[in-house]
Amino acid sequence: MAHPHCPGGAAVEGSTAERGAARCARVYGRAVPSRVVGGPFADAVSAFCDHPVELVRSDQLGAAVDVLPLTLASTASADRLAEHAGDPRLADGRRFRMLLELAGCTACEEGSWAGRLVRVGDALIRVVRPVPRCGVTQQDPDTGTFQLQALRTLAADRGGGPNGRSLHFGMHAEVAEPGWVRVRDGAEPQPAS
């Protein structure tokens, strides 16, 4: 079966249960004990990248997350960025790879939640700090090829960039109370304590 997000529509299927040789992966400066993933996946990624790639899986659940396990941004923030640039492609939330995309907020409202608890579905999360953005935001979400100057737009819209300050879009968060989060669940900031 073809997969729409792989080059040429190729699909690779298999199990990741087989674990190979021990490795130490570097994740945002942290050493994460890992093992090589078996199956056909490394060969498929290597063919796409046109050089050998080894895929690893963390030995400890959750150890290989980004800076924090959750990210969130409002669709209104992406819409504002697209409007600022005059380019509707910036409104495509896939470009920013947020775990939670929130509708019903004002543009950049999520930034005001830093340090606050937010109820999302049955879970309670703590919003921590802004997410620094990288060049991947400039790539087409379907093909991975360079598409537009998203970082310049972020710098013009929010400041930062060439002077050494990070460009931000979205917020990092952590789980305060685990719970189910479903599509269309609300996000409600809790009263400040």
C-beta separation of 170 from 96 below 8 A: yes
Query: Mind listing the pLDDT tens digit for each residue in 69-99?
Result: 899 999 999 999 999 899 999 999 999 999 9
What are the angstrom distances between the C-alpha of 124 and each of 26, 119, 175, 180, 189? 29, 5, 6, 10, 9
The domain spans of the chain are: 16-58, 70-189
C-beta separation of 151 from 94 below 8 A: no
What are the angstrom distances between the C-alpha of 139 and each of 41, 79, 84, 107? 23, 17, 18, 23
This prediction has a pTM of 0.73
Count Cβ atoms below 10 Å from residue 10 Cβ, excluding itself.
Answer: 12
143: CB partners within 8 A, 6+ apart: none
Q: How far, in Å, CA of 16 to CA of 37, rounded?
A: 6
**Per-residue tokens: 23:** 């490795």
The beta strands (E) that lie in 10-122 are given as: 19-27, 30-37, 56-58, 70-74, 100-102, 117-120
Query: Mind listing the pLDDT tens digit for each residue in 55-75?
Result: 999 888 777 777 788 999 999
Q: Which fold has domain 70-189?
A: M1 Pyruvate Kinase; Domain 3 (2.40.33)
User: What is the structure's pLDDT at 6?
Assistant: 59
Q: What is the average pLDDT across 136-148? A: 87
What are the angstrom distances between the C-alpha of 46 and each of 41, 55, 108, 171? 8, 10, 38, 32
Query: Mind listing the pLDDT tens digit for each residue in 118-137?
Result: 999 999 999 999 998 888 88
